[in-house]
Protein backbone atom coordinates (compact mmCIF):
# COMPACT_ATOMS: atom_id res chain seq x y z
CA UNK A 1 0.00 0.00 0.00
CA UNK A 2 1.04 3.55 -0.63
CA UNK A 3 3.18 5.14 2.03
CA UNK A 4 3.62 8.89 1.74
CA UNK A 5 5.07 11.46 4.10
CA UNK A 6 6.08 11.33 7.74
CA UNK A 7 6.89 7.70 8.27
CA UNK A 8 7.86 6.90 4.68
CA UNK A 9 11.58 7.25 5.43
CA UNK A 10 11.43 4.08 7.47
CA UNK A 11 9.18 1.58 5.65
CA UNK A 12 7.34 -0.91 7.88
CA UNK A 13 8.79 -4.41 7.95
CA UNK A 14 6.71 -7.53 7.33
CA UNK A 15 6.65 -8.18 11.08
CA UNK A 16 5.27 -4.68 11.72
CA UNK A 17 2.59 -5.18 9.05
CA UNK A 18 1.67 -8.56 10.56
CA UNK A 19 1.31 -7.09 14.04
CA UNK A 20 -0.53 -3.97 12.85
CA UNK A 21 -2.96 -5.92 10.65
CA UNK A 22 -3.82 -8.50 13.34
CA UNK A 23 -4.27 -5.86 16.03
CA UNK A 24 -6.30 -3.57 13.78
CA UNK A 25 -8.52 -6.50 12.81
CA UNK A 26 -9.20 -7.22 16.49
CA UNK A 27 -10.02 -3.56 17.18
CA UNK A 28 -12.43 -3.53 14.24
CA UNK A 29 -14.10 -6.77 15.41
CA UNK A 30 -14.59 -5.41 18.92
CA UNK A 31 -16.37 -2.36 17.50
CA UNK A 32 -18.51 -4.08 14.83
CA UNK A 33 -19.15 -7.59 16.21
CA UNK A 34 -22.88 -7.01 17.01
CA UNK A 35 -23.45 -6.06 13.37
CA UNK A 36 -21.68 -9.24 12.23
CA UNK A 37 -23.80 -11.38 14.57
CA UNK A 38 -26.99 -9.72 13.27
CA UNK A 39 -25.81 -10.41 9.72
CA UNK A 40 -25.31 -14.12 10.50
CA UNK A 41 -28.76 -14.43 12.12
CA UNK A 42 -30.42 -12.80 9.09
CA UNK A 43 -28.46 -14.98 6.66
CA UNK A 44 -29.49 -18.28 8.30
CA UNK A 45 -33.11 -17.20 8.81
CA UNK A 46 -35.30 -19.48 6.72
CA UNK A 47 -33.34 -22.66 7.39
CA UNK A 48 -33.36 -22.70 11.21
CA UNK A 49 -35.95 -22.63 13.99
CA UNK A 50 -36.18 -18.94 14.86
CA UNK A 51 -39.59 -18.38 13.25
CA UNK A 52 -42.92 -17.61 14.80
CA UNK A 53 -46.07 -19.00 13.07
CA UNK A 54 -44.19 -18.98 9.78
CA UNK A 55 -43.14 -15.36 10.15
CA UNK A 56 -39.54 -14.20 10.36
CA UNK A 57 -38.45 -13.16 13.84
CA UNK A 58 -35.53 -11.04 12.65
CA UNK A 59 -36.35 -7.94 10.59
CA UNK A 60 -33.53 -5.63 9.59
CA UNK A 61 -30.21 -5.15 11.28
CA UNK A 62 -31.35 -2.96 14.16
CA UNK A 63 -34.53 -5.00 14.60
CA UNK A 64 -32.39 -8.14 14.83
CA UNK A 65 -30.11 -6.55 17.42
CA UNK A 66 -33.13 -5.35 19.45
CA UNK A 67 -34.78 -8.80 19.30
CA UNK A 68 -31.59 -10.55 20.37
CA UNK A 69 -31.05 -8.20 23.32
CA UNK A 70 -34.69 -8.55 24.37
CA UNK A 71 -34.93 -12.35 24.09
CA UNK A 72 -31.36 -13.52 24.72
CA UNK A 73 -29.64 -10.67 26.55
CA UNK A 74 -26.91 -8.23 25.45
CA UNK A 75 -24.19 -10.88 25.71
CA UNK A 76 -25.71 -12.73 22.74
CA UNK A 77 -24.46 -9.95 20.45
CA UNK A 78 -20.89 -10.93 21.30
CA UNK A 79 -21.34 -14.70 21.13
CA UNK A 80 -18.29 -16.08 19.35
CA UNK A 81 -16.14 -13.00 20.04
CA UNK A 82 -13.18 -15.02 21.36
CA UNK A 83 -13.10 -17.13 18.18
CA UNK A 84 -13.52 -13.90 16.21
CA UNK A 85 -10.43 -12.41 17.83
CA UNK A 86 -8.52 -15.67 17.21
CA UNK A 87 -9.58 -15.35 13.58
CA UNK A 88 -8.46 -11.75 13.18
CA UNK A 89 -5.03 -12.31 14.76
CA UNK A 90 -4.34 -15.11 12.28
CA UNK A 91 -6.52 -14.16 9.29
CA UNK A 92 -5.95 -10.40 9.03
CA UNK A 93 -2.24 -10.79 9.74
CA UNK A 94 -1.82 -13.01 6.71
CA UNK A 95 -4.21 -11.44 4.19
CA UNK A 96 -3.31 -7.80 4.93
CA UNK A 97 0.18 -8.16 6.36
CA UNK A 98 1.46 -10.12 3.35
CA UNK A 99 -0.38 -8.17 0.63
CA UNK A 100 2.44 -5.72 -0.13
CA UNK A 101 5.05 -8.51 -0.13
CA UNK A 102 3.07 -10.71 -2.52
CA UNK A 103 2.34 -7.69 -4.73
CA UNK A 104 6.07 -7.02 -4.94
CA UNK A 105 6.72 -10.66 -5.88
CA UNK A 106 4.15 -10.60 -8.70
CA UNK A 107 5.31 -7.21 -9.98
CA UNK A 108 8.97 -8.33 -9.74
CA UNK A 109 9.86 -5.46 -7.44
CA UNK A 110 8.20 -2.74 -9.51
CA UNK A 111 6.84 0.25 -7.57
CA UNK A 112 3.97 0.64 -10.07
CA UNK A 113 1.94 -2.57 -9.89
CA UNK A 114 -0.97 -2.86 -12.33
CA UNK A 115 -4.53 -3.68 -11.28
CA UNK A 116 -4.11 -7.28 -12.46
CA UNK A 117 -1.09 -7.72 -10.20
CA UNK A 118 -2.97 -6.21 -7.26
CA UNK A 119 -5.99 -8.47 -7.84
CA UNK A 120 -3.75 -11.52 -8.03
CA UNK A 121 -1.96 -10.53 -4.83
CA UNK A 122 -5.31 -9.99 -3.08
CA UNK A 123 -6.62 -13.39 -4.20
CA UNK A 124 -3.42 -15.09 -3.09
CA UNK A 125 -3.25 -13.65 0.42
CA UNK A 126 -7.01 -14.10 0.88
CA UNK A 127 -6.78 -17.80 0.01
CA UNK A 128 -3.69 -18.28 2.20
CA UNK A 129 -5.42 -16.65 5.16
CA UNK A 130 -8.51 -18.86 4.87
CA UNK A 131 -6.48 -22.06 4.62
CA UNK A 132 -4.67 -21.03 7.81
CA UNK A 133 -7.53 -19.59 9.87
CA UNK A 134 -10.65 -21.53 8.75
CA UNK A 135 -11.21 -23.37 12.10
CA UNK A 136 -11.59 -20.05 13.92
CA UNK A 137 -14.20 -18.90 11.39
CA UNK A 138 -16.22 -22.13 11.71
CA UNK A 139 -16.36 -21.78 15.51
CA UNK A 140 -17.21 -18.06 15.30
CA UNK A 141 -20.16 -18.67 12.95
CA UNK A 142 -21.46 -21.58 15.06
CA UNK A 143 -21.53 -19.40 18.18
CA UNK A 144 -23.13 -16.45 16.38
CA UNK A 145 -25.88 -18.67 14.95
CA UNK A 146 -26.60 -20.30 18.32
CA UNK A 147 -29.96 -19.15 19.72
CA UNK A 148 -29.99 -18.78 23.50
CA UNK A 149 -33.74 -18.76 24.17
CA UNK A 150 -34.96 -21.67 26.35
CA UNK A 151 -38.46 -21.56 24.80
CA UNK A 152 -37.02 -22.08 21.33
CA UNK A 153 -36.15 -25.64 22.29
CA UNK A 154 -32.57 -25.16 21.12
CA UNK A 155 -29.76 -26.95 22.89
CA UNK A 156 -26.51 -25.21 23.59
CA UNK A 157 -24.03 -26.78 21.21
CA UNK A 158 -20.78 -25.82 22.91
CA UNK A 159 -19.69 -24.79 26.42
CA UNK A 160 -16.93 -22.46 25.27
CA UNK A 161 -14.59 -21.59 22.44
CA UNK A 162 -11.97 -24.27 23.10
CA UNK A 163 -14.71 -26.83 23.81
CA UNK A 164 -16.11 -26.00 20.36
CA UNK A 165 -12.76 -26.71 18.68
CA UNK A 166 -12.52 -30.06 20.51
CA UNK A 167 -16.16 -31.04 19.97
CA UNK A 168 -16.13 -30.30 16.25
CA UNK A 169 -12.88 -32.24 15.79
CA UNK A 170 -14.28 -35.17 17.80
CA UNK A 171 -17.77 -35.35 16.28
CA UNK A 172 -17.05 -34.27 12.70
CA UNK A 173 -13.38 -35.12 12.37
CA UNK A 174 -10.55 -32.66 11.88
CA UNK A 175 -11.99 -31.85 8.46
CA UNK A 176 -15.03 -30.45 10.29
CA UNK A 177 -12.86 -27.55 11.40
CA UNK A 178 -12.25 -26.76 7.73
CA UNK A 179 -15.92 -27.08 6.78
CA UNK A 180 -16.83 -24.62 4.08
CA UNK A 181 -13.19 -23.94 3.31
CA UNK A 182 -13.67 -23.81 -0.47
CA UNK A 183 -16.61 -21.35 -0.46
CA UNK A 184 -14.75 -19.35 2.17
CA UNK A 185 -11.64 -19.24 -0.03
CA UNK A 186 -13.84 -18.03 -2.91
CA UNK A 187 -15.53 -15.48 -0.67
CA UNK A 188 -12.33 -14.16 0.86
CA UNK A 189 -10.47 -14.04 -2.44
CA UNK A 190 -13.29 -11.74 -3.61
CA UNK A 191 -13.39 -9.80 -0.33
CA UNK A 192 -9.64 -9.39 -0.21
CA UNK A 193 -9.49 -8.15 -3.80
CA UNK A 194 -12.37 -5.76 -3.23
CA UNK A 195 -11.11 -4.45 0.11
CA UNK A 196 -7.37 -4.21 -0.41
CA UNK A 197 -7.29 -3.34 -4.11
CA UNK A 198 -10.06 -0.73 -3.82
CA UNK A 199 -8.42 0.80 -0.77
CA UNK A 200 -5.00 0.69 -2.39
CA UNK A 201 -6.12 2.30 -5.67
CA UNK A 202 -8.38 4.97 -4.15
CA UNK A 203 -5.77 5.97 -1.59
CA UNK A 204 -3.15 6.15 -4.35
CA UNK A 205 -5.40 8.35 -6.54
CA UNK A 206 -6.27 10.67 -3.63
CA UNK A 207 -2.59 11.19 -2.92
CA UNK A 208 -1.61 11.42 -6.60
CA UNK A 209 -4.04 14.28 -7.30
CA UNK A 210 -3.39 15.96 -3.92
CA UNK A 211 -7.05 15.71 -2.88
CA UNK A 212 -5.99 14.91 0.68
CA UNK A 213 -2.80 14.26 2.59
CA UNK A 214 -1.84 10.79 3.82
CA UNK A 215 -3.79 11.12 7.04
CA UNK A 216 -7.00 9.96 8.68
CA UNK A 217 -9.54 11.62 6.30
CA UNK A 218 -7.80 9.97 3.34
CA UNK A 219 -7.78 6.57 5.08
CA UNK A 220 -11.45 7.00 6.08
CA UNK A 221 -12.58 7.80 2.52
CA UNK A 222 -10.65 4.94 0.91
CA UNK A 223 -11.83 2.48 3.58
CA UNK A 224 -15.51 3.45 3.17
CA UNK A 225 -15.33 2.96 -0.60
CA UNK A 226 -13.62 -0.40 -0.08
CA UNK A 227 -16.38 -1.56 2.27
CA UNK A 228 -19.16 -0.56 -0.15
CA UNK A 229 -17.57 -2.30 -3.16
CA UNK A 230 -16.84 -5.42 -1.11
CA UNK A 231 -20.42 -5.79 0.15
CA UNK A 232 -21.91 -5.66 -3.35
CA UNK A 233 -19.50 -8.22 -4.76
CA UNK A 234 -19.18 -10.63 -1.83
CA UNK A 235 -22.69 -10.89 -0.32
CA UNK A 236 -23.90 -13.97 -2.28
CA UNK A 237 -20.79 -16.00 -1.48
CA UNK A 238 -20.90 -14.79 2.13
CA UNK A 239 -24.47 -16.07 2.61
CA UNK A 240 -23.58 -19.48 1.14
CA UNK A 241 -20.49 -19.66 3.36
CA UNK A 242 -22.49 -18.86 6.50
CA UNK A 243 -25.27 -21.34 5.71
CA UNK A 244 -22.85 -24.15 4.86
CA UNK A 245 -20.54 -23.68 7.84
CA UNK A 246 -23.50 -23.54 10.25
CA UNK A 247 -25.22 -26.62 8.77
CA UNK A 248 -25.48 -29.95 10.58
CA UNK A 249 -23.64 -32.92 9.03
CA UNK A 250 -25.53 -34.18 5.97
CA UNK A 251 -27.76 -31.14 5.50
CA UNK A 252 -25.92 -30.14 2.32
CA UNK A 253 -23.70 -32.31 0.13
CA UNK A 254 -21.49 -29.32 -0.64
CA UNK A 255 -21.35 -25.57 -1.13
CA UNK A 256 -22.93 -25.79 -4.62
CA UNK A 257 -25.77 -27.92 -3.22
CA UNK A 258 -26.27 -25.34 -0.49
CA UNK A 259 -26.51 -22.57 -3.10
CA UNK A 260 -28.92 -24.60 -5.27
CA UNK A 261 -31.13 -25.44 -2.27
CA UNK A 262 -31.30 -21.75 -1.33
CA UNK A 263 -32.20 -20.77 -4.90
CA UNK A 264 -34.99 -23.37 -5.20
CA UNK A 265 -36.51 -22.90 -1.73
CA UNK A 266 -36.03 -19.17 -1.13
CA UNK A 267 -35.36 -17.60 -4.50
CA UNK A 268 -32.45 -15.41 -5.71
CA UNK A 269 -33.06 -12.72 -3.08
CA UNK A 270 -31.84 -15.21 -0.45
CA UNK A 271 -28.29 -14.56 -1.65
CA UNK A 272 -28.58 -10.97 -0.46
CA UNK A 273 -30.11 -11.73 2.93
CA UNK A 274 -28.47 -9.58 5.55
CA UNK A 275 -27.21 -7.12 2.92
CA UNK A 276 -27.77 -4.02 5.07
CA UNK A 277 -25.98 -5.42 8.14
CA UNK A 278 -23.27 -6.72 5.80
CA UNK A 279 -22.77 -3.21 4.42
CA UNK A 280 -22.97 -1.56 7.84
CA UNK A 281 -20.56 -4.11 9.19
CA UNK A 282 -18.09 -4.14 6.28
CA UNK A 283 -18.20 -0.38 5.86
CA UNK A 284 -17.62 0.32 9.54
CA UNK A 285 -15.19 -2.60 9.85
CA UNK A 286 -13.09 -1.34 6.95
CA UNK A 287 -13.02 2.19 8.34
CA UNK A 288 -11.98 1.07 11.83
CA UNK A 289 -9.53 -1.54 10.55
CA UNK A 290 -7.72 0.53 7.90
CA UNK A 291 -7.55 3.68 10.05
CA UNK A 292 -6.25 1.58 12.98
CA UNK A 293 -3.85 -0.28 10.70
CA UNK A 294 -2.29 2.92 9.37
CA UNK A 295 -2.05 4.47 12.84
CA UNK A 296 -0.57 1.34 14.45
CA UNK A 297 2.05 1.09 11.69
CA UNK A 298 3.03 4.71 12.22
CA UNK A 299 3.12 4.31 16.00
CA UNK A 300 5.44 1.30 15.71
CA UNK A 301 7.70 3.13 13.23
CA UNK A 302 7.86 6.16 15.56
CA UNK A 303 8.80 3.83 18.40
CA UNK A 304 11.50 2.23 16.22
CA UNK A 305 12.90 5.66 15.36
CA UNK A 306 12.99 6.76 19.00
CA UNK A 307 14.65 3.46 19.95
CA UNK A 308 17.28 3.68 17.23
CA UNK A 309 17.92 7.41 17.68
CA UNK A 310 17.50 8.24 21.39
CA UNK A 311 17.79 11.89 22.35
Distance (Å, rounded) from C-alpha 43 to C-alpha 245? 12
Cα of 136 vs its chain's centroid, Å: 12
What pLDDT, on a 0 to 100 scale, did the predictor assign at position 70?
92
Distance (Å, rounded) from C-alpha 128 to C-alpha 98? 10
- Which of these, 247, 301, 292, 281, lies nearest to 27 by C-alpha position? 292
DSSP string, 209-221: TTSS-SSHHHHHH
What pLDDT, on a 0 to 100 scale, did the predictor assign at position 18?
93
The per-residue pLDDT string of the chain (311 residues; one tens digit each, 9 = 90 and over) reads 654 444 445 688 999 999 999 999 999 999 999 988 888 888 787 655 545 455 668 888 889 999 999 998 999 999 889 999 999 999 999 999 999 999 999 998 887 889 999 999 999 999 999 999 999 999 998 888 877 655 555 557 788 899 999 999 999 999 999 988 987 888 788 888 889 999 999 999 999 999 999 999 999 999 999 998 888 888 888 888 888 878 888 889 888 999 999 999 999 988 988 788 778 888 899 999 999 999 999 999 988 888 876 65
CB 280 within 8 A of CB 228: no
What pLDDT, on a 0 to 100 scale, did the predictor assign at position 153?
52
What pLDDT, on a 0 to 100 scale, did the predictor assign at position 206?
95
Distance (Å, rounded) from C-alpha 70 to C-alpha 81? 20
Tell me phi and psi for residue 32, to 5 degrees.
-110, 5
What pLDDT, on a 0 to 100 scale, did the predictor assign at position 306?
83
What pLDDT, on a 0 to 100 scale, did the predictor assign at position 152?
52
Amino acid sequence: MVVVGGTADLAPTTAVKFFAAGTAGCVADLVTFPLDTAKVRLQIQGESRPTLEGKAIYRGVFGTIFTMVKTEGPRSLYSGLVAGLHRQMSFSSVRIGLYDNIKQVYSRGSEHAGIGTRLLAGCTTGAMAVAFAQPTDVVKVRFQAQVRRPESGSVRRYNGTFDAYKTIARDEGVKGLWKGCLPNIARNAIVNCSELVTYDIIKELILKYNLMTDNMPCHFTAAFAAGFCTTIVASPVDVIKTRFMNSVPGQYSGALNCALTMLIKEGPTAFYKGFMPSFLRLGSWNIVMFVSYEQIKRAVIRYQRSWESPL
